[in-house]
């Protein structure tokens, strides 16, 4: 029987494996539709296959992994329909969050948002797409915090992994989109700092719609590549 120390170590291993595999999926290291090889993952992570299987079961429940009729696993595909649904919900909720955050932001909040905005702009100007996505996520997360809208936050957090997976598709693949996203964050920051909730909400919805268009473009290219490879 495991003692408490052994149980904690086992739990930590399970969580580590789960987060590592999920990170690979979100970042596209494990590509959409890619078969999951338990043995390869166990070797790469230097871990036994038992926590690998447990992690994969969690990711299957979260629909980041799919089980095929033959029992094999693959990374969940990306689709135009799914990203459209997710980003539509996101635009409504984050628009609301931007509005509420604008009315509640303190001087310290404005300063913090300004720092994130500058980091986004600098990263975009230097074609560092990964950093644009990272600091953009920090900008949005801070707005969640300022808004204090628990229900909107709860729903967005439930969608967060899928949002993160799709939101990377534009800026990471396209430096032009990365720079445009930086400009959009700059405009949102100015609306918030000027205490203009109507404009902040409008700009947030436009920003997410533009992100959707960039993601759809990348998905179309991915799907076409799959068609070409299978012909």
Tokens (6 digits) for 89: 């919900």
Across 13-22, average pLDDT: 90
Q: Which residues have CB under 8 Å from 63's CB, separation 6+?
A: 76, 162
Question: Burial level of 132, CB count in 10 A (0-12/13-18/19+)?
Answer: buried
What is the C-alpha separation between 117 and 139, in angstroms, rounded?
A: 7
Strands (E), the chain: 65-67, 73-75
Place of tokens 């029992």: 71
| Closest C-alpha among 219, 96, 209, 94 to residue 157 | 94
Question: Burial level of 227, CB count in 10 A (0-12/13-18/19+)?
Answer: exposed
**pLDDT in the model for residue 165:** 87
pLDDT band at 121 (very low <50, low <70, confident <90, very high): very high
Place of tokens 């700092």: 193
What is the C-alpha separation between 41 and 196, in angstroms, rounded?
A: 49
Q: What secondary structure letter does DSSP report for 210? A: H
Our CA dihedral for 190, 192, 195, 198, rounded to 10 degrees, sits at: 100
pLDDT band at 5 (very low <50, low <70, confident <90, very high): very low
What are the tens digits of pLDDT across the range 189-200?
999 999 999 999
Packing angle of the helix pair 129-147, 150-167 (nearest 10 deg): 170
Tokens (6 digits) for 144: 């969640």
Our CA dihedral for 93, 95, 97, 99, rounded to 10 degrees, sits at: -150
| Residue 22 clears pLDDT 60, i.e. is over it | yes
List domains and CATH numbers for the chain: 4-75 (1.10.10.10), 80-230 (1.20.120.530)
Rounded to two decimals, the pTM is 0.80
What are the tens digits of pLDDT across the range 149-191?
999 999 999 998 998 888 777 666 668 889 999 999 999 999 9
Mean pLDDT value across the chain: 89
What are the tens digits of pLDDT across the range 33-76?
999 999 999 999 888 889 999 999 999 999 999 999 999 999 99
CB 26 within 8 A of CB 159: no
Q: How far is CA 231 from the centre of its chain?
A: 32
């Amino acid at each position: 029987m495991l003692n408490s120390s052994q149980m904690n170590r086992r739990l930590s291993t399970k969580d580590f494996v789960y987060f590592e595999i999920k990170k690979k999926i979100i970042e596209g290291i494990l590509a959409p539709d890619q078969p999951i090889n338990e043995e390869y993952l166990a070797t790469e992570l230097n871990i036994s296959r038992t926590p690998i299987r447990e992690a994969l079961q969690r990711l299957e429940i979260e629909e980041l992994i799919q089980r095929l009729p033959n029992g094999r696993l693959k990374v969940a595909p990306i689709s135009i329909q799914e990203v459209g649904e997710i980003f539509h919900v996101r635009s409504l909720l984050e628009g609301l969050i931007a509005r509420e955050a604008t009315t509640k932001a303190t001087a310290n909040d404005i300063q913090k948002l300004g720092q994130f905005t500058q980091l986004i702009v600098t990263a975009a100007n230097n074609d560092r797409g990964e950093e644009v996505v990272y600091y953009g996520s920090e900008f949005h997360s801070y707005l969640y915090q300022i808004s204090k809208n628990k229900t909107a936050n709860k729903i967005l957090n439930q969608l967060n992994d899928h949002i993160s997976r799709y939101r990377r598709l534009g800026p990471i693949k396209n430096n032009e989109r990365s720079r445009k996203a930086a400009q959009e964050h700059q405009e949102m920051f100015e609306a918030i700092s000027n205490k203009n909730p109507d404009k902040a909400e409008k700009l947030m919805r436009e920003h997410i719609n533009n992100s959707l268009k960039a993601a759809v473009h990348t998905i179309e290219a991915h799907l076409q590549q799959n068609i070409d490879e299978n012909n």
